């Protein structure tokens, strides 16, 4: 019983904070601008993508990277004034 509990808790590792440089590299690789991917220190498991109208390919790219890194991608659609 104890070994089963220890095995389960080993899977629940805390989310790693990624540097701005890492997030910007992912953003550029997914066709986003610098600063459009954010990871908040208070909610480390969330990867926020802030983009006015991300394409399906951009959303998929970000979601795949987030999943591979134990994060949940959240897309925030912003309407910027002209």
pTM value > 0.85? no
pLDDT category at 11 given cuts 50, 70, 90 is low
Q: If pLDDT is split at 50, 70 and 90, which confidence band does 69 have? A: very high
DSSP 8-state secondary structure symbol assigned to residue 16: P
Q: Which residues pair with 74 in a beta bridge?
A: 48
Per the document, the length of the chain is 82
Q: Find, among 45, 27, 46, the residue nearest to 36 by Cα.
A: 27
Q: Is the separation of the CB atoms in 76 and 50 below 8 Å? A: yes
């Amino acid at each position: 019983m104890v070994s089963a509990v220890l095995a389960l808790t080993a899977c629940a590792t805390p989310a790693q904070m990624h540097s701005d440089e890492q997030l910007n590299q992912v953003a550029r690789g997914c066709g986003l601008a610098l600063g459009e991917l954010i990871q908040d220190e208070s909610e480390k498991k969330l990867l926020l993508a802030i983009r006015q109208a991300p394409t399906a390919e951009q959303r998929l790219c970000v979601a795949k990277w987030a999943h591979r890194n134990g994060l949940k991608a959240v897309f925030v659609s912003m309407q910027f004034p002209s």
